[in-house]
Homo-oligomer: A and B are copies of this chain.
């Protein structure tokens, strides 16, 4: 009887940890989400539906079967205690980086990018962040809490400082946030048109890429908690990922804010899956 237990990894990510160049892991946390929760279900849905994809990318002409990726599963997190959650994510990310690997983290709400960016910053003090999103995420606090999905990039600025954050696709925020960004970050409104150019500037520094999938138009990608109309198409996102190939020091990345239950058709989950595949193939050498 040699049938093994069914291992539910992302398609083509079945290498052991020791051999892996890139670690994929999920962070099923949506504990500060105020409007519509559900990103906790993202990674589970992504793993299951990844089997509707091929392992080969005709965009990058690379194949997951040919590279070394370990699917580390999901972190087990204590809901209701945000600080403890962030601590666990930080510890895991640090460990992966210390072992000389890169990672792709899949959220969860955007707040979970805070500890993963922190871990990358600790290892690469010259870290720059490419932030693709519909929202500024630059609030000083939200409902009195400084640790919020609406504040995550502002919290990253706390340690990264000016000139390190590059924001694209932004189409929603308070007026104050747009004003603040003028002083402290690079922010392109509505589109990704300048991404290619900025990638050129960043090609030799360590870069972390955080993709909030709600940058996509909700007409295309309804499976997210805070749908913001007027976003980009999936082909535009694919194009952006192709530009990222020029980065020589991309050290880690994340894909966040899929809420699969808001799109029972599975189309949003399929977009998340394809984004994960393309980003994994971007992270490997």
Contact = CB atoms under 8 A, between A and B. Distances in A.
Contact of A234 (B78, B217, B235): B217
B172 A58 contact: yes
Contacts of A217: 219-220, 233-235
Interface residues of A, number: 85
A1 B80 CA distance: 26
Nearest to A259: B265
Nearest to A175: B56
A71 B99 CA distance: 33
Interface stretch (A45-53, A121-129, A196-204): A45-53
Main secondary structure of the interface of A (DSSP, over half): loop
Interface of A: 1, 3-9, 17, 30-38, 40, 44, 48, 51-54, 56, 58-59, 63, 71-74, 76, 78-82, 92, 95-96, 99, 143-145, 147-148, 170-175, 178, 189-190, 216-223, 226-230, 233-235, 238, 261-268, 270-271, 274
Contacts of A229: 234, 238, 267, 270-271, 274
A73 B145 contact: no
B173 A79 contact: no
Contacts of A51: 35
Contact of A78 (B3, B99, B143, B170): B143
Contacts of A143: 76, 78-79
The 9 closest A-B pairs by CB, nearest first: A219-B220, A222-B265, A218-B267, A6-B73, A222-B267, A32-B80, A80-B82, A227-B270, A37-B37
Given A81-B82, A174-B56, A265-B223, A271 B218 contact: yes
11 contacts: A5-B71, A35-B52, A52-B226, A58-B170, A76-B143, A80-B80, A80-B145, A219-B268, A222-B267, A262-B266, A263-B265
A268 to B, nearest CB: 8
Contact of A30 (B37, B76, B178, B265): B37
A73 B40 CA distance: 24
Contacts of A79: 31-34, 143, 145
